Structure 1
C-alpha cells in the first residue's frame, strides 16, 4: 500500500505538519520528520540513535537543510518554523509530491531540475541514509547545498552553548558521541553557529518545551553537471563504506519479506502487519527482544508488550521474537508479577501492574494456538503456575484473591491497571478493588492453565474448579441489569457504575464467562456510549466526569487521559468480540469490514502507516499522544487476520 500526497496537503505550514513518517532500527532508534520535512516536535529528528538499546537514546541529527543554487539564484527547499516567524522557511512551495510506502520520499521541481529525496534507516544499526536523485533539464550551473543541523544530546535534553563539536573529514564528535558520515559531495567548512529558536508547534500544543537549538559547522555541496546525478549522505556510528542503493534495496527486501510471511491480504492490514515490526526491539540489559510501547515518547513496558505482541509477533509469524519476549518476561517475574518497566543500568524493575502477568498467560496460549509448540509451553509452565499461586495466596501491591474467588488489587496511591495516571497525590481514575478486565483475565488464565495442565500431563481439576467459582461470582457482582452491562470495578464507590471500555475484554478473551444474551447487551452498550471509528472512549460521553479533549498542559492531559479520551487499542477487542458473539456471521463480517474502512484514514493522518495512541473523546479527528502506538497497531492487525479467517470460513 502506497500513501501518495500532493500539493493540496501543504496549502499552509500548519496543514503540512499534520503528517509525519517513522523509520526505526530495531534498537530503539528512529528517524521521524513531518511530510514536508520539518521538525514539529522536539522528538522529531532525522537521526535518533540508541546507544544502549532500547531506551538510552541520543538526538544526533535534527535535520539536513537543503538549498538549490541555479546560476546566481538560491532556492531554499527547507521547511521550519521559528519563534520569530519572519525566519520561517517555506520550501514546500517547491514540493511537488510526497509519498510513503517502504520509505518516505519527496519530489521537488525548480526551473527544470527535479530532485527525488528518499530517507532510509538500517535495521539493527544506528545508520541513516539520505538519497538524492537529481534530473536536470537546465543548462545553467547548479548545485545542491546540504546543511546538517547537529545536536548530539540525550533524547530529552536541549543543546547547550558550552557543548563543543569536532569535525573531521569523515566524522563528527561531541558530548562523548562519535558519528561517521559518508557522502559523494564536497565537505565545506563554515563558520560555526547556533541555529536558535526552532519552534516545535506540536510540543507547544501539549505544554512541552517548544523551542530548540541546533549547531551548524559545515555544508555538503553537490555539483550538478550531468543530466542525471545521484547524491547521498549516510550517517552511522560504524566506520564502514556503504552504497546508498544497496541499503535501500536490502531494507526494502526485508520489509517485503515481513509482508509476505503474514497471511493478511488487505493492503492496509499488510502495511500495519509490516510496520508492527517497527516496535520490536532488542533490549541490551536482558539480551532479548522487547516491544517499544509508542513513538516518540515511550519505552518498553510490560502491560503494553503483552497486549501488543500478539498482533506484532504471533499474527505476523515472528515466532522467534515472540519466544524471546516471553522468555525475557519469565526471567524477571517476581512473586508472580511481571515487570511493567524493565531495569536500566543501576536501576531495578518496576512491578506496578496487576494485569501483565495474567496477560502473559493469554499470550503464551495464543502462541500455542498458532504453533502447537508444546516444548515452549512446558518451558513457560512453571512461571504460569507461580503466577496463579501467588495471585491466590496474595502478593505485592495488595494483589490477592478474595473469598469469592475474584482478584482484588491496589490501595493508597497504587495504580495497577492500564488506567494508571497519577499526578502527585491525585489519582484521576482510582480503580482499587476488583477491576472488571482483571477478573476477566483471571478467569481466562485459569481456563488456559486447566488446558495446559492436561496437555502437559499435570492435570489439575483445581484450575477448572476455581474458574467455575470465579464465573459464578463474576456474574453475580459485575452484571448490572439497570446499566445493561458490566460494572467497571467493585470498590463501593460511584466509579463502580461508570460505563467504561474495560468490560469489552470480558467478551474478547479466549475464554469468556458471559452468555449470548449478556454479551449482545454489552456490545450494544459499548457501541452506544463508547464506540467511535478510531477507538473506544475510556468513559461514556454522558458521564459527569467525561472530558471531551485531551490536550493542553500535562495536568489537563492527565486529567482527561482515561476520562473519555478515545483509545485505539480497545477497538481491536471490540471487533473480535463483535465477530465472536454476533449470531449473523455474514452481517458481522460485513459490518467489521465496513468499520475497518472507516478506521483506515488513521493510516494517512498523523504518522503514516501507523495508528496513534489516543484521540479526543467527543470528536476524534486528530491523533494525540504517541503518533505511533504498538498496541493500537497490534490489536488492529489481529482484527484484519481474524476477519479474513472468518471470510474464508463463510466461503466454504
Structure 2
C-alpha cells in the first residue's frame, strides 16, 4: 500500500508535523522525520544509529537543511521549527507531495525546478542513503545545497557546544559522464551522472567517540563548525519533555544543474567503513519488504501493511546474540511483557517461526524463580523481573507457537522452564506473586506494580492492582490447561494440572460482578475491584474458557458498551470518577491519566478475538469484525504512517499519543487478521 499525501495535508506548518515516517534497520537504529521533513521531536533523526544493539542509540544526523539556488535567489525547501517563529524554515510551502511505501519520498516544485528527495535505510547496517533528483526547467542554472545537521549524542541528549567535530577526506575522484543534457554539449571529462558535474568523495566525521563515514557524488565543502540553536520540538513540548535542541553543521554537499538538465545528487552516511550504494539500499528495502509480505501470505492489504510494520520492531540483541522485539518507537526498549504479547502477532501470525523460536529460547535462558525478565540486561546490569504476567504469557506463546508449527522439539526444551513457572507461582516467588488457597494468583506488594498497568509516581500508585488481578488469573488458568495438554510430552510429570485448573475455574466466579454484569478488575477489598476496565476482555479471548459462555457474551457486550472505540479500548469506564479524558502535559499529569481512561490500541485485538469466539467464528461475525477493522486504515495514515500507536485520548481518540509506533498494537491487530483468514 502506498500512502500519498498532498498540500491539503500540510495547510499549516503545524498540520505538516502531525505525521511522520519510520524506517528501522533490525539493529535498534532507525530513521524518522515528519512528512514535511522536519524534526518535531528531539528523537527524530535522519540517522539514529545503534552502536550496541538494540538500545545504545546515537542521534548522528538529526535533520537536513536544503537550499535551492535559482539564479541569485536562495529558497529553503527544508522545513524546521525554531523557538523564534521568524527563524522557521518553511520549505513545506514549496512541497507538493509526500509518499511512503517502502521508503519516504518528498517532492518540491519551485519556479520551474522540481526536486524529489528519497531517504533509504539499509537492513542490518547503520547506514542511511539520501538522494535528490533535480529537474531544471527554470531557464537558469540552479544548484542544490544540502547541510546535514549533526549531533553525535546518545538518543535524547542535548548536544554540548563544547563538543568537537573533525572531518577527514579520504578520496575525491571524477565520475564518468552518464545521462543527457538538454540544449547543451557534454564535456565527458567533467560532466557527471545525469549530465551534472560531479566527483565521488569519501570521508569521515568524528565526534564524541563516534565516527560517521560518508560518500557522495556531489561537491563536498567543509565549513567552519557552526551550532544551530533552539530547534523547537512541538511534540515534546506538549508532553512536558525538553522542547528545544541544538545541532552542528560542518559541511555541505552541492550539485549544479544546467538549464534543461536532470541532475542527481546522492550521499550515504554510516558507521561502517564499507558503505553500500544508494541503489543497493533502495533495492534492499524493496526486496526485504516484499519477502515479508510473501512469507506472511495475507490477502488483505491492510494486513500486508501491518506485516511490514511488525518487522520494524524485530531487532538483534547483542547481549543474547538472538532476536528480540522492541516495545515501541521512539521511546521504549525491549521488555518481557510487551515481547510476549507482541510476538504472537508480529512473529507467529506473520509466519516468522524461526524468529519466534529465537525469542522464546532467549527468555528460557533468563528465567529465574519462575519469573521472566521484564527488562533485559545491558552490559553488566542484571535483568529486571518486576512482572507477573510475562511468565504466564510465555507459556501462552509456546502454546500458540506449537499450535501453528507442531514443533514438539521446542515444547520439550521449554517444558522444564514452564514447569518451574507453575511451581514457583504455586509456592510463591518475588513481588508478592503466590497462589492463594483458592487457587487464584495474588500479585503486587508495597510500591511494586507488576501488571501492565504499572505506573508509579513516587508514592502514588494511580492504578493499585495489588491482590488478584483478573487477567493474571485468566492467564494462570490457561497456563495450567496448556501444561495439562503438554504433559503428553513428559508423562513422567506427576503434577495434576487439570485438578489445579479446575480449582481456578471454580474460584474465578469471585470475579463476577452481578450488578454490573461483567468481571471485577481485581479482588483486593478496595473500590478498585468494581471499576470497569478493559483487562476483563482477556478472560474471554484466551483459548481456554474460564467463564460460562453466557457470561463471556456479557463481558464482550459490556466492554463494547463502556470501553470500545474503533482505535482501542478505554482503560476505565468514562462514568468512573477517576476517569481522565485527556493524556498530555508534564509527566505527572500523563502518568495519572495513563491507565485511567486513556485508549490503548492493543486490547482491541483481545476484544475482536473475544467477539469472534463468543459468536462461534461465524461468517457473519467475521464480516462484522472485518468491517470494524476498516477504521485501522485511517489510523495507519495518522501519526506514524503505516504504523499503529501506543495510545489515544480517552475522551475523543483522534490523535495518536505516546509511542508513535507500538509493537503490541500492531501484533494484536495482526492476530485478528490471522483469525479472520482461518
Partner of 1:38, secondary structure, is coil
What's the CA shift for 1:74? 1.3
Partner of 2:584, secondary structure, is coil
Q: Which residue of 1 aligns with 2:587?
A: 554
List per-residue Cα deviations over 1:503-561 (Å, max 9, x = no partner). 00001112121122101110110001000010000001100100001101100000000
Q: Does 1:32 align with 2:66?
A: no
What's the CA shift for 1:644? 2.2
CA distance in 1, matches of 2:454, 2:57: 25
Q: Does 1:257 align with 2:291?
A: yes
Q: Which residue of 1 aligns with 2:347?
A: 313
TM-score scaled by length of structure 2: 0.94
Contact conserved, 1:479 with 1:486, CA < 8 A, in 2? yes
Q: Does 1:394 align with 2:418?
A: no
CA distance in 1, matches of 2:238, 2:587: 10
Q: Which deviates more, 237-246 or 18-27?
A: 237-246
Q: Does 1:533 align with 2:566?
A: yes
> Which of these residues, 427, 431, 447, is aligned with residue 461 of structure 2?
427
Contact conserved, 1:180 with 1:239, CA < 8 A, in 2? yes
- For the structure 1 residues 209 and 513, does the alpha-carbon distance in structure 2 shift closer, same or farther, using more than 3 Å as the test? same
Q: Which residue of 1 aligns with 2:97?
A: 97
> Which of these residues, 196, 203, 209, is aligned with residue 242 of structure 2?
209
CA distance in 2, matches of 1:458, 1:493: 43
Unaligned runs of at least 5 residues, structure 2: 170-202
Q: Which residue of 2 aligns with 1:381?
A: 415
How do 1:401-420 and structure 2 match up within 5 A?
Answer: 401-420=435-454
CA distance in 1, matches of 2:57, 2:296: 31
How do 1:580-591 and structure 2 match up within 5 A?
Answer: 580-582=613-615, 585-591=618-624
CA distance in 1, matches of 2:167, 2:672: 50
List per-residue Cα deviations over 1:200-245 (Å, max 9, x = no partner). 0010000000010000111111121372222211111111253211
- For the structure 1 residues 541 and 140, does the alpha-carbon distance in structure 2 shift closer, same or farther, using more than 3 Å as the test? same
CA distance in 2, matches of 1:569, 1:224: 50
Q: Which deviates more, 62-71 or 584-593?
A: 584-593
> Which of these residues, 606, 628, 631, is aligned with residue 664 of structure 2?
631
CA distance in 2, matches of 1:572, 1:456: 33
Q: Does 1:326 align with 2:360?
A: yes
Partner of 2:388, secondary structure, is coil
Q: Which deviates more, 214-223 or 488-497?
A: 214-223
Q: Which residue of 1 aligns with 2:9?
A: 9
How do 1:449-488 and structure 2 match up within 5 A?
Answer: 449-458=483-492, 460=494, 462-475=496-509, 477-488=510-521
CA distance in 1, matches of 2:276, 2:424: 53
How do 1:154-303 and structure 2 match up within 5 A?
Answer: 154-169=154-169, 170-225=203-258, 227-303=261-337
What's the CA shift for 1:136? 2.3
Unaligned runs of at least 5 residues, structure 1: 646-652
CA distance in 1, matches of 2:563, 2:49: 39
Partner of 2:392, secondary structure, is helix
> Which of these residues, 630, 643, 656, is aligned with residue 610 of structure 1?
643
CA distance in 1, matches of 2:492, 2:568: 41
Q: Which residue of 1 aligns with 2:41?
A: 41
Q: Which deviates more, 448-457 or 516-525?
A: 448-457
Partner of 2:39, secondary structure, is coil
Contact conserved, 1:45 with 1:62, CA < 8 A, in 2? yes
List per-residue Cα deviations over 1:56-101 (Å, max 9, x = no partner). 1111110111111111111110101111110111101111100111
List per-residue Cα deviations over 1:463-503 (Å, max 9, x = no partner). 1111011000002x111111100000000000000000000
Contact conserved, 2:47 with 2:59, CA < 8 A, in 1? yes
What's the CA shift for 1:285? 1.0
List per-residue Cα deviations over 1:320-377 (Å, max 9, x = no partner). 1111111111100000000000000121111000000000000011110111000111
Partner of 2:312, secondary structure, is helix
Partner of 2:213, secondary structure, is strand
Contact conserved, 2:127 with 2:275, CA < 8 A, in 1? no
Contact conserved, 1:454 with 1:460, CA < 8 A, in 2? no
List per-residue Cα deviations over 1:274-302 (Å, max 9, x = no partner). 11000001111111111100000000000
RMSD (Å), alpha carbons: 1.1
What's the CA shift for 1:459? 5.9
Q: Does 1:570 align with 2:603?
A: yes
CA distance in 1, matches of 2:493, 2:421: 17
4+ residue stretches of structure 1 with deviation over 3 A? Answer: 455-461
List per-residue Cα deviations over 1:583-606 (Å, max 9, x = no partner). 582331122111100232110000
CA distance in 2, matches of 1:642, 1:195: 51
Partner of 1:114, secondary structure, is strand
CA distance in 2, matches of 1:243, 1:392: 57
TM-score scaled by length of structure 1: 0.97
